[in-house]
Structure 1
Amino acid sequence: MADFNTIDDFDVENKTVLLRIDINSPVDPNGGFILDDTRMKLHSPTIKELSEKGAKVVILTHQSRPGKNDFISLKEHAKVLSKNLNIDVLYIDSIFSNEAINKIKNLNSGEILLLENVRFFSEESLNGSVDKQSKTLLIRKLSPYIDIFINDAFATAHRSQPSLVGFTKVLPSGAGRLMEKELTVVENSFKNVERPCVYVLGGMKADDSIEVIENVLKNESADYILTTGIVANIFLLGAGVDIGKVNKDFIKERGYYNLVEKARYLLKTYKKNIIYPKDLAIEDNGKRVDVSIDKIPNKYIFDIGVETIKEYAKFIRNAKTIFANGPAGVFENSEFAIGTEDILNTIANSQGFSIIGGGHIAAATNAMGYDMHMNHISSGGGACITLLGGKKLAAVEALKNAKK
């Protein structure tokens, strides 16, 4: 039995249900068109179920953040969502204006209303306690017209913002189907891990990945960590490898140079468990060149090398559980997509239970056609890696407290 409520715990017929989802999507900078509707597809089962059960569904979500080119209204999202659901999704360009409140009050059973980008409301950008967020204008304005709050936004569950945690203090609250699935799959795999368990960690968010490495090795829930991307470069530095000034400077620019000492400590403590590349790929005259780690020129590292790919494939093929987060290199460039593609191909063809983190690694998995061969692709990289790092998700804790 879950320690938070789900849709099963409520009779939603003729009830006004506020549904928080995360359909933050890539947008064409010129035309404002949605380029990828993956997240809308992931939330569709929750929306459809509520609608089919006769709920009056009010959707709250966000797109990007202030100052970015894709910080736009949700008018286009409503159109794409309508196509995905095969149901007409109503849209209003406000969040809690009198017009929006009247729309909510006049909804019929089964109807779906999408409110405007919640981040247009400045208080939404503030993090704070559940008690503090429950007193914000958003919650005070909307909650009198809502019967039940359902949070399905796993991808944003690590944030403690008004729309994610505030309603749990004042309304009966539960998790949507996507949130429920994410927590069940990730937490069960983490707690009941089948061995050997291999983590493949790369990408650009080195601080999160190194926190995960420390957590899973300390808890003895992982057998091997295969490092790629900037994570690998930090461990190479920790192992005393000269990766070249440009790569050192890049790590410093990202604010990660302080992690080299942590990497050195982890290598000393878990020498047999942490595997770093034996060769890497650089660019020379526009072409990929693989070099041994003892002969790295002062050029940017863009991928792991072929010998490393072969070595990593052996670990993955023997694994019973595989967690992968972050691409191995600059996969957007075909010359340097080899590491990411070969790792995903090996995971897809392995016998192990595979979990792919969200963000760029999920995008690469979908783009390269391996999505149907993975056991679980997370909708949220930040939330997923927060869980694996042994931290609690603010929005999930709020749901647990709401049940209590």
Structure 2
Amino acid sequence: MFLTIDDLDFKGKRVALRVDINSPIDVSSYRILEDTRIRACKDTIEELSSQGAKVVILAHQSRPGKKDFTPLHSHAERLSQVLGRDVEYVDDLFGSHALSTIGRMGEGDIVLLENVRFYSEEVMKDWDSWDNSTPERQGKTFMIKKLYPYFDYFINDAFAAAHRAQPSLVGLAYYMPAVAGRIMEREIKVLSKILEDPDKPSIYVLGGAKADDSIEVIKNVLKNNSADKVLTTGIVANIFLIAKGYDLGPNRDIILDMGYAHLIEVARDLLDSYRGRIEVPVDVALNIDGERREVKLKRGERINYPIHDIGSETIEYYDSIIREGRTVVANGPAGVFENKNFLKGTEGILKSIVRSKGFKVIGGGHLSAAASIVGVADRIDHISTGGGACIQFLAGKKLPVIEVLKKSYRKYGVK
């Protein structure tokens, strides 16, 4: 359980709203190239402002060392356009300029403070994981101690960063009620439903290059019977194919170079423990001098070229399973979809998903981008705003932000 915007009266209250509006940006002009995350937080901001809250937005853009690690003035401009009203940008985080601006705000005003990751305490490695002292340690950082006296409530709508425990994400909850914004509320409810009480049969399609995360999801959803079947693609599929005894040649070397050698044995154990519930491709598309060539997979026959996609027979076979699903969850592309010669598998999976009559969920990140390219994004019931956060949630991991929301409910929850 957690507090939501429905539980409290925000009229006249100063609200610190943490959002994730980290966006693709032109580093030469600071122009926002794609504003999905900015548009996503519109509802929460409008609702709070219309209730008479004084809304102070905390956000980040990229991280130190990256070319797109920039100030947030462009984000404020785009937010103003999306909301149809002025969002005041303050090029300060907790100095006199920021604090005086917060102090003179009127009801309904909206302010965006500077990139929280400009402050060194925000990006310390100490915050890499959850522990029982959170949010006390984060609450005692200099930034939070300077900011907290100016606020009545802390609202967190940054689901995409919910797997992180940085001060701006959890520290204010040490001093005041922490409340889920509308994005956060929707993500927790949807992902909890598909894990705890999915309509059956429940089909998971897991691919992409982050095989370690995907295999943790496979472990969790099969162990808890959240999934009836798991269909594998991408690097994930290659690991399971090797575990089944297929000779993938140079593709095995790629897996070893990625540090995934240990996952082959893990995959072998999963195949043994959950017989008939994990599917692997029956054919693949090879990249031979930039061209697509599909080959049937056979034990004893070596693959000598990079596998960049699943093949047509696999697309058809997976389609027959996906279309019967009453819950379909997908994360990660089936291949190198950025190359049009190898988009076919990802496109086929996505089109199978939208043809399904079940509840459809896809993770954020690359598969979300592919859904937009293929033109099916508006036919997916829920596209998560979080990549890493979504997959860690599905893997059954504790997410610091969500743990803090639960803790706050126990302390301040509506009686």
Q: Does the pair score TM above 0.5?
A: yes
User: Which residue does the alignment assign to 1:168?
Assistant: 173
Q: Within the alignment, does 1:235 sit opposite 2:233 as a pair?
A: no
User: Which residue does the alignment assign to 1:319?
Assistant: 325
User: Which residue does the alignment assign to 2:357?
Assistant: 351
Stretch deviating more after TM superposition (30-39 or 303-312): 30-39
Match of 1:113 among 111, 114, 128: 111
User: Which residue does the alignment assign to 1:381?
Assistant: 387
> What is the SS of the residue equivalent to 2:154?
strand
Number of residue pairs matched?
A: 401
- 8 Å contact kept, 1:349–1:373: no
**1:89 partner amino acid:** V
Q: Within the alignment, does 1:193 sit opposite 2:191 as a pair?
A: no
Q: Cα deviation per residue 1:275-300 (whole Å; 9 max; x = unaligned)?
A: 01111111123211111222453221
**Identity of counterpart residues, as a percentage?**
53
- 8 Å contact kept, 1:243–1:293: no
**1:97 partner amino acid:** G
Within a 5 Å distance, the mapping from 1:86-125 to structure 2 comes to: 86-125=84-123
Gaps spanning 5+ residues in structure 1: where? none
Match of 2:312 among 283, 292, 306: 306
User: Which residue does the alignment assign to 1:150?
Assistant: 155
Match of 2:366 among 342, 360, 371: 360
Match of 1:140 among 137, 145, 148: 145
| TM-superposed deviation, 1:354 | 0.5
Within a 5 Å distance, the mapping from 1:237-256 to structure 2 comes to: 237-244=242-249, 246-256=250-260
User: Which residue does the alignment assign to 1:328?
Assistant: 334
| TM-superposed deviation, 1:131 | 1.3
| TM-superposed deviation, 1:28 | 2.1
Equivalent-residue separation in structure 2 for 1:131 and 1:147 (angstroms) = 18
Equivalent-residue separation in structure 2 for 1:238 and 1:397 (angstroms) = 36
| TM-superposed deviation, 1:152 | 0.5
Equivalent-residue separation in structure 1 for 2:246 and 2:205 (angstroms) = 21
Query: Structure 2 length as normaliser, TM-score?
Result: 0.95
| TM-superposed deviation, 1:187 | 0.4
| TM-superposed deviation, 1:81 | 0.9
User: Which residue does the alignment assign to 1:47?
Assistant: 45
Equivalent-residue separation in structure 2 for 1:344 and 1:148 (angstroms) = 40
Equivalent-residue separation in structure 2 for 1:271 and 1:32 (angstroms) = 51
Q: Within the alignment, does 1:212 sit opposite 2:217 as a pair?
A: yes
> What is the SS of the residue equivalent to 2:41?
helix
> What is the SS of the residue equivalent to 1:67?
coil
- 8 Å contact kept, 2:247–2:303: no
Write out the 4+ residue segments of structure 1 that deviate beyond 6 Å after TM superposition: none
Equivalent-residue separation in structure 2 for 1:296 and 1:99 (angstroms) = 65
**1:377 partner amino acid:** I
| TM-superposed deviation, 1:171 | 1.2
Equivalent-residue separation in structure 2 for 1:29 and 1:310 (angstroms) = 42
Q: 1:12 to 1:347 in 2, by over 3 A?
A: same
| TM-superposed deviation, 1:96 | 0.6
Equivalent-residue separation in structure 2 for 1:117 and 1:300 (angstroms) = 41
Q: Cα deviation per residue 1:27-77 (whole Å; 9 max; x = unaligned)?
A: 124332211111111111000101111111000011111111111111111
| TM-superposed deviation, 1:271 | 2.1
> What is the SS of the residue equivalent to 1:258?
helix
Q: Within the alignment, does 1:180 sit opposite 2:178 as a pair?
A: no
Pairwise CA RMSD: 1.1
Equivalent-residue separation in structure 2 for 1:148 and 1:200 (angstroms) = 39
Stretch deviating more after TM superposition (84-93 or 26-35): 26-35
> What is the SS of the residue equivalent to 1:291?
strand
Q: Within the alignment, does 1:225 sit opposite 2:230 as a pair?
A: yes
- 8 Å contact kept, 1:159–1:395: yes
| TM-superposed deviation, 1:8 | 1.4
Q: Within the alignment, does 1:372 sit opposite 2:370 as a pair?
A: no
Q: Within the alignment, does 1:392 sit opposite 2:390 as a pair?
A: no
Equivalent-residue separation in structure 2 for 1:67 and 1:296 (angstroms) = 42
Equivalent-residue separation in structure 1 for 2:68 and 2:385 (angstroms) = 19
- 8 Å contact kept, 2:330–2:361: yes
- 8 Å contact kept, 1:21–1:43: yes
**2:29 partner amino acid:** G
| TM-superposed deviation, 1:162 | 0.6
